[in-house]
Homo-oligomer: A and B are copies of this chain.
Amino acid sequence: MGRTQAFDRDTAVRAARAVFWQSGYEDASVPDLERATGLSRSSIYNAFGSKRGLFDEAVQSYLDEVVRPRLRPLEGAQVEPGAIIGYLDGLREALAGAGSAPAANGCLLINAAGAPIAHDAEVARVIAAYRDELRAAVGRGIGAHLPAAPEAERDRLADAVTGLVVAAFALVRIAPEEASRGLLTARGLIDSFRPQAR
């Protein structure tokens, strides 16, 4: 019995996700979240317990609907040779999106990681796991792209590319040109290995 929940929980989380994505955790105020979700203060605390609770759900939503789809071409046993290049180009496109696209705000996790919230052990754990997932995917992409290259060189290359990708995300909002430059550099590094490998 009793009234059923009127709003769609996922929709509300997605709206909150956009706010956290753009503003980081600390700078996203509760009134901001009210406005974005269309919910009242009371409803938010009723449904999610706290601002932090809402943030945690937003992070999960971000991983499921934003991060993992983008890494999908680099998952699985047989990765396309061009997938790693496509991934880098896709990233550059998304990050360079003229401010309108949500991805132009970089990475929700890294943005949120700027402030004290990053000292939170749980958040740090999620970020570390995210990075390892990325490194593995890049490694597979490099492997498929340069099958003839020596393993040591492939590892070094994958390390550099992963570093540059993380750097790009960390820097989009501080120095967008630097971020794009880093992704271009990563592409250039891969290309410079290509002739020798053939």
Contacts and interface: CB of A to CB of B under 8 A. Distances in A.
Contacts of A186: 160
Specify the main secondary structure of chain A where it touches its partner.
Answer: helix
B181 A163 contact: yes
Nearest to A164: B163
B173 A118 contact: yes
Contact of A167 (B124, B156, B164, B192): B164
Given A163-B167, A174-B127, A181-B163, A116 B27 contact: yes
A113 interface: yes
B192 A163 contact: no
Interface in A102-116: 110, 113-116
Contacts of A171: 166-167, 170
A174 B170 contact: yes
A153 B163 CA distance: 19
Contacts of A163: 163-164, 167, 178, 181-182, 185
Contacts of A124: 174-175
Contacts of A192: 153, 156
A131 B171 CA distance: 12
Interface string A126-157: 01100100000000000000000000010010
A85 B185 CA distance: 20
A56 interface: no
A131 B189 contact: no
Contacts of A156: 185, 188-189, 192
Contacts of A173: 118
10 contacts: A24-B115, A131-B175, A131-B178, A156-B188, A156-B189, A159-B188, A160-B164, A163-B164, A163-B167, A189-B189
